[in-house]
Amino acid sequence: MSLLDIRERISNARSVAVLTGAGISADSGVPTFRGTDGLWKNFRPEELASPDAFERDPKLVWEWYNWRRELLSTKTPNAAHEAIVQLEKQIENFWLITQNVDGLHRTAGSTNMSEIHGNIWKVRCTNCGTIAPNHDVPIDILPHCPNCQGLLRPHIVWFGESLAQEDLDASFRALQNCEILLIIGTSGLVYPAASFAPIAKEHHAFIVELNLDPTPNSNLVDISFQGRAKDLVPLLLPS
């Protein structure tokens, strides 16, 4: 089965879900923030992206997130992000689930989506809970809520925190109802994303994986293509 065959399937589908991970952002030059790329002042992400770290030293955590925002502010959506926007416009029932926090899908124009790990360009008040966009680069450290003066934190799901139930519910609905699931640029190892392909398969979706390398999901999906997201995803667009 070729990419042309998949494109024809998509053109005839009424419902499509898409799951994206770090691989799609890598094509925009976004670092993984893990391994050697993720080191900052000798700290690893696991040491900083947690409620305990923020409670212990909010200034340090915000300095790290400001560094990340400065890096991300130079990045722009690539052809894969843009192709997903076009899919949303062409498919009657479309939902995007992204594990990425860089906001590139939203910048590209995606709207029917769940950012299940949050968005680095949003802040949340630790006092009143207000969530608001914030694109300040650099951001004031420490930032405070304009409504109640409470301390702001990044609107990110940290280690040890649960995903928002609203995002999970929307994601599960999309997975249970889609005819086609596209898995793009993710190994699907981390829960709950690790459960997404099995859920879609259980509900008889046709699953297509696009990734640089084979993944643990490759044996579960209906077809897997190896390559860069920016090269492959545009080829799936219906004419």
**155 a catalytic residue:** no
Cα separation, 181 vs 205, whole angstroms: 6
31-74+119-156 matches 3-29+77-117+163-236 in CATH topology: no
Instruction: Express each pLDDT in 145-199 by its tens digit.
Output: 999 999 999 999 999 999 999 999 999 999 999 999 999 999 877 888 889 999 9
Cα separation, 78 vs 235, whole angstroms: 14
Phi and psi for 124 in degrees, rounded to 5?
-135, 135
Q: Give the pLDDT confidence score for residue 177 in this predicted structure.
A: 97
Fold for the domain defined by 31-74+119-156: SIR2/SIRT2 'Small Domain' (3.30.1600)
Catalytic residue among 105, 117, 155, 204: 117
Q: Give the pLDDT confidence score for residue 39 in this predicted structure.
A: 61
Instruction: Express each pLDDT in 203-221 by its tens digit.
Output: 999 999 999 998 888 888 9
Q: How big is the chain, counted in residues?
A: 239
Q: Where are the domains of the chain?
A: 3-29+77-117+163-236, 31-74+119-156
Q: Which CATH class is domain 3-29+77-117+163-236?
A: alpha beta
Cα separation, 192 vs 198, whole angstroms: 11
Q: Residue 35 pLDDT more than 60?
A: no
